[in-house]
Structures are given as structure tokens and as C-alpha cells.
Amino acid sequence: MHSDIAEVLFTEDEIAERVSEIGRAITRDYAHTADENGIVLISVLRGAAIFMADLARKIELPVEMDYMAISSYGNGAKSSGVVRILKDLTSEIEGRHVIVAEDILDSGLTLTYLLKNLASRHPASVEVATLLRKQTRAQAKIDCKYIGFECPDEFIVGYGLDFAERYRNLPYIGILKPEVY
């Protein structure tokens, strides 16, 4: 797998440090608003599951974790333009503080859909913590309160990000060689 990577963008250590910083920021920002119900962290499966697990361990407040599976990609390298909910939440989020832990903000299509869907459930607040925000011109305007890294408009994999379900287990984030996809 490592030989399929053209360049490492973010090392394992850089990712760990940035996730810790985001966890500290969330702890600070929600210290006086997170009641006994705590924060609900929502991960968009599958890519963000690794990020959310690491982030949850860095938040020093009560945290409930839940998962949604939403797809706009399939096995392709480009978004299909169609968003589908494959798995919905099991947690009740009405009146609760919600943070969506997203792996990457690319086109923003999936996240825009998800934020509208969550808002219709009447949470106290909804914020986004994205590990990566891609630098693209055609990106939807989404306010991300917590951003791990800005990244180039390249096909990237690792730390949960995949191509056709491969490379998620790489401990770093790298650019996939074009000949691979």
C-alpha cells in the first residue's frame, strides 16, 4: 500500500497533535454548555470513524458517540451527486449539542445534506469538526468551527480515507498516485 502513495501530506504525529488541539478547543468551548447529557459526536461512516474515535478521547467532557452512513461517492473517485442515508442515528439529538466529526470537506454535498437533516431534528446546536478541508473552487459554503488541516485538491487516502475501501488503515494521510485510481 505504501508504494501507491505519491507523497505523505500529514504524518501520524502531526495528525495526533492536531486532533489533540481540536479536542482541547471543544472541551474549552463546551465546558459551560454541555450538561449532564454531554455532547453528541456524530461520525459519518466509514471514513470519519478513526478521526472521531481519536477526537472523543481528547474531549474532557461527557461524550456520546453515534454514527450515520451517508454516501455520495460509491466506489468512484468523483462524487455521484446523489446523497443517500445508508444508516441513521440511534441517538435522540433534540435539545442536545451535536458535533459532526467529518473526515474531509470536499465538494460539501454530503455535509450540506447532513447538516440540513440534523437541523430538522432540533438540536441545541450543530457544529462541524472536519479533519481535512480540501482547497476546491466548487466547494459548498459550510461553516466548520474546527478544521484540522487545509489540503490540496488531490486524491488523498489514509487515516480513514479510502479508495475502493483500501488504504483506510494507513496511519498517515497521503496523495494516491494517479495510476492507482
Query: Which residue numbers are catalytic?
Result: 106
Distance separating alpha carbons of residues 93 and 105, to the nearest angstrom: 23
Peptide bond preceding 121: is omega within 30 degrees of 0, i.e. cis? no
Q: What are the helix (H) ranges across 31-174?
A: 49-56, 109-119
Query: Whose grid coordinates read 437541523?
Result: 119
Q: Which three cell numbers stand for residue 136?
A: 476546491
User: Distance from CA of residue 58 to its chain's centroid?
Assistant: 15
Query: CA–CA distance from 110 to each of 31, 103, 143, 152 (Å)?
Result: 29, 12, 14, 19
Distance separating alpha carbons of residues 151 and 145, to the nearest angstrom: 17
Cβ atoms within 10 A of the Cβ of 114, count?
Answer: 21
